[in-house]
């Protein structure tokens, strides 16, 4: 059997290491990009929810009963209109402690009980709750932030954002170009490193008279002694 080229073997394996490194780096970048993107959206929703809750509590303080309920709903309606005017339409929902939907900025009145929704359950139990639900058909994600109000009710904000993969597709050409450049550099470095490793071995043939003193690597000393 014809022996395999040592240089080609080393170069191929070094190139494989470079390819695996690039792939893992790309996957890690996707994950980190997604986490940062989701955290930014959730943080923005929480700050808006806190501002809405402050306005809601201020509207309730001097009143009570049905008038207070109407004032609180009006605060949510005004906030939804203001967000729409800024070109950032937020969906606001007011949920009773038992999960019944008291108000929704979409105008729907037939919404089912929301007590089992994870963000609502978390807000009722601990004060705040977050959830993200993805629409595979429409290509977007809806981020939810729920905040428990001073009267025990929960205000929930929802914001539709572009699906992470849709957003990532916009930078995909640059990512592919970067990966190709890194792979090219890795292949060049593999070739240079292979040459630097193999050259001293091939040079041993020119020093057969003093072979043991010309051994470049300790792993080759038994071979040199045998020769």
Q: What is the mean pLDDT of residues 4-17?
A: 74
State mean pLDDT over 96-120.
Answer: 88
pLDDT in tens, 174-205: 777 877 887 788 778 878 877 777 777 776 76
Residue with tokens 């550099």: 185
Higher pLDDT, 191 or 46: 46
Distance set, CA 192 to CA 14, 44, 56, 182, 195 (Å): 11, 50, 68, 15, 5
The answer to whether residue 68 scores a pLDDT higher than 60 is no
Q: Is the dihedral of CA 18, 20, 21, 25 positive or negative?
A: positive
How does residue 21 score in pLDDT terms, banded at 50, 70 and 90? Answer: confident
What confidence tier does 166 reach under pLDDT thresholds 50, 70, 90?
low
């Amino acid at each position: 059997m014809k022996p395999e080229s040592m240089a080609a073997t080393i170069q191929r394996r070094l190139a494989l290491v470079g390819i695996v490194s690039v792939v893992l780096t790309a996957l890690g970048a996707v994950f980190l990009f997604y986490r940062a993107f989701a955290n930014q959206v959730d943080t923005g929703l929480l700050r808006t929810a806190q501002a809405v809750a402050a306005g809601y509590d201020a509207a309730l303080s001097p009143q009570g009963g049905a008038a207070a309920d109407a004032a609180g709903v009006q605060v949510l309606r005004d906030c939804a209109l203001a967000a729409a005017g800024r070109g950032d339409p937020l969906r606001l929902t007011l949920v009773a402690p038992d999960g019944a939907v008291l108000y929704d900025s979409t105008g729907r009145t037939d919404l089912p009980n929301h007590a089992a929704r994870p963000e609502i359950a978390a807000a009722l139990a601990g004060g705040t709750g977050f959830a993200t639900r993805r629409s595979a058909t429409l290509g977007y994600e809806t981020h939810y932030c729920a905040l428990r109000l001073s009267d025990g009710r929960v205000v929930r904000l929802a914001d539709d954002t572009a699906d992470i993969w849709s957003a990532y597709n916009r930078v995909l050409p640059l990512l592919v170009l970067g990966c190709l450049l890194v792979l090219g550099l890795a292949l060049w470095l593999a070739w240079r490193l292979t040459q630097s490793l193999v050259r001293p071995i091939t040079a041993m043939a020119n020093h057969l008279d003093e072979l043991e003193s010309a051994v470049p690597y300790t792993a080759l000393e038994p071979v040199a002694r045998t020769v």
